[in-house]
Structure 1
Amino acid sequence: MAKALKDKSPSSIASSSSRGKPVKTLRPLKKPAGKGSRRILLTEAEIYEVFRRFHAASPEPKGELLYVNPYTLLIAVVLSAQATDAGVNKATPALFRLADSPEKMLALGEDKVRDLVKTIGLYRTKAKNVIALSQRLVDEFGGEVPGDRDVLETLPGVGRKTANVVMNIAFGHPTMAVDTHVFRIANRLALSQGTTPLAVEADLLRVVPPEYALHAHHWLILHGRYVCKARKPECWRCLVNDICLYPDKTPAP
């Protein structure tokens, strides 16, 4: 079974030294005047430097969900809603050994699917959605996962984030899948001031340099998962600490 592995250890994106010549046009950083003030957005040069460093540390970052083909990727992402990738990965190997196509999933049946994914949160609803979307794929798309985000969003259990992940990983589109990590990091780094996932997605699509767009959401997810954590960001290990405008940086232990 294929696994989407990172090129290096999770912390490498934070601790690797940057390569190449630094951008010389960075302006002096300023902090917000207070908690109620609007954060100063980064310049184009600063944004480029952020993603240049992420790329230097991990040129081809990968998602952490287990999958074997576009269909199993879709199912894994659907199952990961309001659950951790690690938790989903404990359940899906057994499921995908039995059903790696919508036809096989339908033959397995909802009761068996529910039993196999019962360790995952909301497993009853998710099992129902897995069967329903598999039926749609068979009935309307010849058993294939459509490479169209708008169509994907019409499938049971598939929202915009899930559709963006599938479009990015399975079909190579530079989409921005905004989960809690991406939302947090985009705002902390002042890549966006968006207050909704859709607003953050629009900002990232606008400001991320095109050459880094394909992998941008992976870098942000991994950075949020392993370094820039919600409760206590490990700022002393951050690869872009000197550029980040987040005012409440955590000091080194």
Structure 2
Amino acid sequence: MKSKSVETDKKVTAMSLAEVRTFIELLAKENPDAESELNYTSSYTLLVAVVLSAQATDASVNKATDKLFQAASTPSEMVALGEEGVAKYINSIGLWRAKSRNVVALSAQLLEHYNGDVPGERKALEALPGVGRKTANVVLNIAFNQSTMAVDTHIFRLGNRTGLAIGKDVLAVEKALIRRIPKELLRDSHHWLILHGRYICKARKPECWRCPATAVCHYPNKNLAI
């Protein structure tokens, strides 16, 4: 009879606040210049890129926006391009039809309500088509230097697996991370954590031997052999 996985057999315990600080500081030391892997040139192109990144890789979005942003890099240019025009550039990524509609619609709303500027408030951002809490958090973090935490599948997994922030849903993990990570480290932690989850603390086979913070991680089934 097969045994259950260690992750389901053993409940991961939460890190202490001291361990949380150590964990984050070790990631920071390993990757001090971490930043978004999406290509953008303004708060507007950042917003569009993040909206397009839902259920798509950053690499695929960058490939699409390389040409899209040459054709339209402002809300007025995007509205002029129209849904079919946008679709022509992004039809290689998932949900491209809905995303085409949302990008044109949010651009029109920016022109109508904000003179073409991207607002720096969560409520205003989340009122735009295609913009949810995670997208708003990314834009507020990068474009407006706010200490927000955008929890994607990588950060959700990492938070629960390591004991950094345990929660049943993304909002619970987001709130736990904001509460537990030292304030001065919080803003940049979004980048450190997402890249760590993307490239080291992977879903199927975490590469624990590459992790600089394995000593304080509470994951009970560390894969330390190369």
Please state whether the residue corresponding to 1:109 is helix, strand or coil: helix
Q: Which amino acid in the other structure matches residue 240 of structure 1?
A: A
Q: How far apart are the structure 2 equivalents of 1:159 and 1:251?
A: 37
1:154 aligns with 2:124: no
Listed as ranges, the matches of 1:50-89 within 5 Å are 50-89=23-62
1:184 aligns with 2:176: no
1:135 aligns with 2:100: no
Q: Percent identity?
A: 53
Name 2:193's counterpart in structure 1.
220
With normalisation by structure 1, the TM-score equals: 0.85
Name 1:98's counterpart in structure 2.
71
Unaligned runs of 5+ in 1: 1-32
Name 2:3's counterpart in structure 1.
none
Aligned residues: 221
How large is the RMSD of aligned CA atoms in angstroms?
1.4
Q: How far apart are the structure 1 equivalents of 2:34 and 2:209?
A: 22
Q: How far apart are the structure 2 equivalents of 1:230 and 1:34?
A: 12
Measure how far apart 1:44 and its partner are: 1.4
Measure how far apart 1:191 and its partner are: 1.4
Q: Which amino acid in the other structure matches residue 138 of structure 2?
A: V
Q: How far apart are the structure 2 equivalents of 1:233 and 1:36?
A: 18
Moved over 6 A (4+): none
Q: How far apart are the structure 1 equivalents of 2:165 and 2:111?
A: 39
Q: How far apart are the structure 1 equivalents of 2:203 and 2:10?
A: 21
Contact 2:7 2:221 in 1 (8 A): no
Q: Which amino acid in the other structure matches residue 127 of structure 2?
A: T
Cα distance per residue 1:59-92 (max 9 Å; x no partner): 2310000101000000000000000000101100
Q: How far apart are the structure 2 equivalents of 1:192 and 1:204?
A: 6
Measure how far apart 1:35 and its partner are: 3.5
Listed as ranges, the matches of 1:184-203 within 5 Å are 184-203=157-176
Unaligned runs of 5+ in 2: 1-5
Contact 1:60 1:215 in 2 (8 A): no
Q: How far apart are the structure 2 equivalents of 1:89 and 1:198?
A: 27
Q: How far apart are the structure 2 equivalents of 1:119 and 1:216?
A: 31
Cα distance per residue 1:209-249 (max 9 Å; x no partner): 11111111111110011111000000111111111111121
With normalisation by structure 2, the TM-score equals: 0.94
1:171 aligns with 2:144: yes
Please state whether the residue corresponding to 1:176 is helix, strand or coil: coil
Please state whether the residue corresponding to 1:129 is helix, strand or coil: helix
Measure how far apart 1:41 and its partner are: 1.2
1:107 aligns with 2:80: yes
Q: Which amino acid in the other structure matches residue 230 of structure 1?
A: A
Please state whether the residue corresponding to 2:103 is helix, strand or coil: helix
Contact 1:114 1:127 in 2 (8 A): yes
> Greater share of helix residues, 1 or 2?
2
Contact 2:156 2:170 in 1 (8 A): yes
Q: How far apart are the structure 1 equivalents of 2:31 and 2:56?
A: 25
Measure how far apart 1:34 and its partner are: 8.2
Cα distance per residue 1:2-39 (max 9 Å; x no partner): xxxxxxxxxxxxxxxxxxxxxxxxxxxxxxx9846643
Q: How far apart are the structure 1 equivalents of 2:20 and 2:140?
A: 24
Q: How far apart are the structure 1 equivalents of 2:205 and 2:25?
A: 25
Corresponding residue to 1:39 among 12, 36, 46: 12
Q: How far apart are the structure 1 equivalents of 2:52 and 2:222?
A: 34
Name 1:15's counterpart in structure 2.
none
